[in-house]
Structure 1
Amino acid sequence: MTGPAGIRGPRSWLDEVERVDLAVYRAIAATPTPRLDGAMRRLSQAANYSRLSIASAAVLASIGGPRGRRAAVLGLSCVATTATFVNLLVKPVGRRRRPDRAGAEVPAARQVDLPGSRSFPSGHTAAAVAFATGVSRVLPAVGVPLHSLAAAVGYSRVHTGVHYPGDVIGGALLGAMVADVTASSLSRRLALGESPVTWPSGPRSPGRSRQDR
């Protein structure tokens, strides 16, 4: 819709952004990458239920000393908070449908199972970025490879056809913001040696908070 002065309304801008989003998605789907397909499929599957973040946290806790343990706890706490926020609050509001992989002709060799949850935002990306953000608060140098891994996870979700690029960008922004708030509120408690999270019925994997697949 165009206003009296020729200024486009919000709906027009959103329509154009969505067209760009779809065009990029289709361009990636149409680009032959046989050597990359298997790696992206495996990476996307490895990120299910935040398994990559949990494995990284285990390594940090086992070889990183006290700071490594603090970083692991803070990172996983950020994952838990972000997964809950994204899946219980944002996805129901966004209500964006998953991409039409058949229509975009996404190669079968790169596909993973299409989740039944809403498309926006990418929960995998949000959780991976949240973990990297939380760990960076304690171990800044480790945050660099973790953010790189999060970026790769985000791209893998587009490459395998289960998310639009805009879903990944939105997930990354939300993951960073929620993790920043979470880390700020928990950092002081961690510094004092207090437990940042009280689990009501024993430990539970934070990545299983209905995170999309």
Structure 2
Amino acid sequence: MSTGGPTGEPGMPAAPDGSVAPAEERLAERLAGLSATEHPVAVRLAPVLRRLGHYDRLVYRAVARTHTPALDEPLRRLSDLANFSKPWFAVAALLAVAGGPTGRRAALTGVAAIGAASLVVNQPMKQLGGRSRPDRVLHEVPRPRWVEMPTSTSFPSGHSASAAAFAVSVGDVVPALRVPLRIAAGTVAFSRVHTGVHYPGDVAVGVVTGALLGRLVSRVGARIGRAEVRV
């Protein structure tokens, strides 16, 4: 197996199509090298991970090669707008100003969820994942879709995690916002694949991580609120 992909990273195995192998395939290589006697479950998991890596790139290429000129510009703008969680902070500010006590609690919960997701995803998970960004030229992502390629590692998607964390946590506090916020978060998550800066697997793991952290933060916030009422 080759030791360098299109990014020229030393020690980074290449996939059959010439791109840097996804994180799941690199993990599969490590698991396959273990002793089947000592680690039978890990060895059986290796082919499953390779299959996931294959489908990850397959879906990425399918999105890249789907002709969607009417969506390219709006999704590119949305993906750019979502940098640093700007839409979610704007919603939080609006809730804090116009939403009364419930809106302020929702705003605080949402911002806390974004903080938790950013901390977990952008530090330990990205460091452990170590996955290179997709090669947009190799996979033929149309240039009108392109946003600036982030310098951070690709796995998982921080944009998707923050969007899901905010949508779930605020939706728990203000149920009327649950559907619109989740639609908005899902659109932001898809835009990261559409613009070519993430593989679908990066986005899927980001969404799941963010949603779990959003739910955790909302539950902690609710418990704190109930404790303050009792006092």
TM-score bracket, shorter-length normalisation? 0.7 to 0.9
Deviation for aligned residue 1:193: 6.2
Q: 1:59 aligns with which of 94, 113, 117?
A: 94
Deviation for aligned residue 1:144: 1.1
For the pair 1:120 / 2:155, whether they are aligned, the reply is yes
| Partner of residue 129, structure 2 | 94
For the pair 1:29 / 2:64, whether they are aligned, the reply is yes
Deviation for aligned residue 1:24: 0.6
Following superposition, which runs of at least 4 residues in structure 1 exceed 6 angstroms of deviation? none
Between structure 1 and structure 2, the one with the greater Rg is 2
Letter aligned with residue 59 of structure 1: L
The answer to whether the 8 A contact 1:126-1:174 is kept is: yes
Q: Separation in 2 of the partners of 1:114 and 1:47? A: 14
Question: Residue deviations 1:143-177, cap 9 Å, x none?
Answer: 11001100000000000000011111100000011
| Partner of residue 28, structure 2 | none
Question: Residue deviations 1:112-154, cap 9 Å, x none?
Answer: 0111111111100000010011101210120110011000000
Letter aligned with residue 169 of structure 2: G
Q: 2:51 aligns with which of 16, 22, 36?
A: 16
Q: Separation in 2 of the partners of 1:54 and 1:153? A: 14
Letter aligned with residue 214 of structure 2: A
Instruction: List alignment gaps of at least 5 residues for structure 2.
Output: 1-31, 38-42
SS of alignment partner, residue 154 of structure 2:
coil
SS of alignment partner, residue 138 of structure 2:
helix
Instruction: List alignment gaps of at least 5 residues for structure 1.
Output: 195-213
Deviation for aligned residue 1:192: 5.8
C-alpha RMSD of the superposition: 2.1
The answer to whether the 8 A contact 1:70-1:190 is kept is: no
| Partner of residue 180, structure 1 | 215
| Partner of residue 47, structure 1 | 82
Q: Separation in 1 of the partners of 2:161 and 2:228? A: 27
| Structure with larger RCO (C-alpha < 8 A, sep 6+) | 1
Question: Residue deviations 1:50-89, cap 9 Å, x none?
Answer: 0010011111122211111110110111101110111111
Give TM-score scaled by structure 1 length: 0.85
Deviation for aligned residue 1:191: 4.9
SS of alignment partner, residue 105 of structure 1:
coil
Report sequence identity in percent.
45
| Partner of residue 4, structure 2 | none
Q: Separation in 2 of the partners of 1:187 and 1:166? A: 32
Q: Separation in 2 of the partners of 1:144 and 1:61? A: 20
Q: 2:193 aligns with which of 145, 158, 174?
A: 158
